[in-house]
Structure 1
Amino acid sequence: MFHHSSKLQFPVRVEKPDPEFAMLLQQAIGGVEGEIRVAMQYFFQAMGARGDVRIRDLLISTATEELSHIEMLGYAVALNLEGAPLSYQEASAKDPGGQRHSGRHESAPYPLFGAGGDAGERQRHAI
């Protein structure tokens, strides 16, 4: 069972909106090593946990905490897109997992960032 509060756990502030950074933040939400993957991994481990109920509860609590990270990151993405040209907002909507910026997509403008690829691959494309 989940309880949701509309108040964020921590305040999210952005001094100056940065649409490029917003697109990079999307990688932290839905990318290869993103919060969504981590939350689902904890949920899956909890469902298979046998024995001590405290271990299962710990895993479910950790997964729930990861969901709060997704909420804060999503809010930060929205704040960084405020006032951005429509082209950035549309590109962000088409690439919700941030693959364009992860180093795994051939047209990534910032292949050095993200969890994708090996060090040699990223080194070759470093800016």
Structure 2
Amino acid sequence: MNVQKDYFYTKSHEWVQFLSESTARVGLSDYAQSEMSDIVFVNLPQEGDLVSVGDSFADVESVKAVSDVYSPLAGEVSAVNEELLDSPQKINEDPYGAWLAEIKDISGKEELMDAAEYEKFLAESAE
């Protein structure tokens, strides 16, 4: 399982990459995309949407099921990766390059795990 060392993670398997103190990108971890299998559709939030920690802000459809994506941060959606609308399989191909949304004016970072904590969480979940 690929875990990026400089990213942060949630228990629902989203990743966070901080672009600055107040802006971050959000995507699905390698674990999440492998569990979902072949991703065939992505429903992204709109720019300007306000998101709260733990609220569903997007969904991803795979050949197995539709899964909600939960916001790991509170803030405002400042950009979405529109490339995924036409090519949702990019999440399977490169989960850490295929970000879903950028969030600005962020808060609520307290629950995020660093890479070592996330790897431990994955190992404990597998037991």
Q: TM-score, normalised by structure 2?
A: 0.23
Query: Which has more radius of gyration?
Result: 1
The structure with the largest helix share of the pair is 1
The two structures have a TM-score, normalised by structure 1, of: 0.23
